[in-house]
Amino acid sequence: MYFLKSKFLKVSVVFMMALVMFISQSIMPVTTNASINEEEAKLLEMYDDLKEFAVKYEDASKETVNALKKDVNKLVADKKIILSEKSAKLDFTKLVVKEDESSQLVYIPIKYNALKKGLLNESFFVVVFEKSELSYYQEIKIIGNQEEYTSNVSSYLNGSLLNEETIYLEKEDFETTSNDENSSIFAFLAPDTAEAGWYDNFKKCLNDKGVAAWIITSISIACSAACIATAGAGCVACILGLALLSEGVISYCVFKARV
């Protein structure tokens, strides 16, 4: 059983659920401006608190990274860490470790050798160590289909399936057109058009920065189940995945999209 251990975890839960609510509203036909504005306000208010993640967790030393790489390999070999399928393989060449005073978060992209050609894989695996002991691990499986404009998302906690669903998206969600002009401080200060709406502006910003909206949508929905099941602890791993995949673009676009 996992409990909320800090203000950051509490904020993480609300942030992830607010983001999921935004995304759910964007792909469902029925919504109201009042509910969107209310949740938007909550999301924007929480932005400063979310920056605590960057302060709390730092890049681990090379020695720590190498040691944890060996630990995770051994845990997999000893079957103390179970992947969702036999064809799954952890990509240790892209391993990233973030740590604070008592814990380490190990992020590893995961590949599926049995994946059909043409499908997009943005899946990742996070192992959490507390005081050098395995606390829990999480697998977020995200497979996009840019021909059918769908994404199959699955969330696993300690080898058990928490949630699995298919998200129906649009063509524009898979498009990216990096725009260097939007990287300037003037682009950051200038809000997008109010007529487009917050989420449309958010997606447009992601697109302009080279991050396909379907990835953020998929991770957010996949992570919502983990946030609830772990009483917030699982949100930390998901936010790590979001941060590493988007390289800070999400934080930028949250404010850029304000109306």
pLDDT in tens, 8-33: 544 454 555 555 545 555 554 444 44
Beta-strand ranges (E) seen in 68-149 are 88-90, 96-99, 103-112, 120-121, 124-130, 133-145
Contact in structure between 236 and 98 (CB atoms under 8 Å): no
pLDDT at 200: 73
- Residue 119 pLDDT: 95
User: What's this model's pTM, rounded to 2 decimal places?
Assistant: 0.74
Please state the domain extents for the chain.
Answer: 7-256
Contact indicator for 255, 44 with CB cutoff of 8 Å: yes
Among 18-27, 80-89, 169-178, 234-243, name the most confident range. Answer: 80-89
Nearest to 53 by CA among 110, 6, 1, 4: 6
Report whether 42 contacts 18 (CB < 8 A): yes
| Rounded Cα gap, residues 85 and 258, in angstroms | 41
What confidence score (pLDDT) does residue 191 get?
Answer: 45
Query: What pLDDT is stored for residue 253 in this prediction?
Result: 75
Round to whole Å and give the CA distance between 127 and 74. 13
pLDDT, one tens digit per residue, over 207-255 is 787 778 888 778 777 777 667 766 666 677 777 776 676 666 766 776 6
When pLDDT is averaged across residues 149-178 and rounded to a whole number, the result is: 88
Got the DSSP string for 8-22?
HHHHHHHHHHHHHHH
Instruction: Return the SS3 of 217.
Output: helix
Q: Say which residue, 200 or 71, is predicted with more confidence.
A: 71
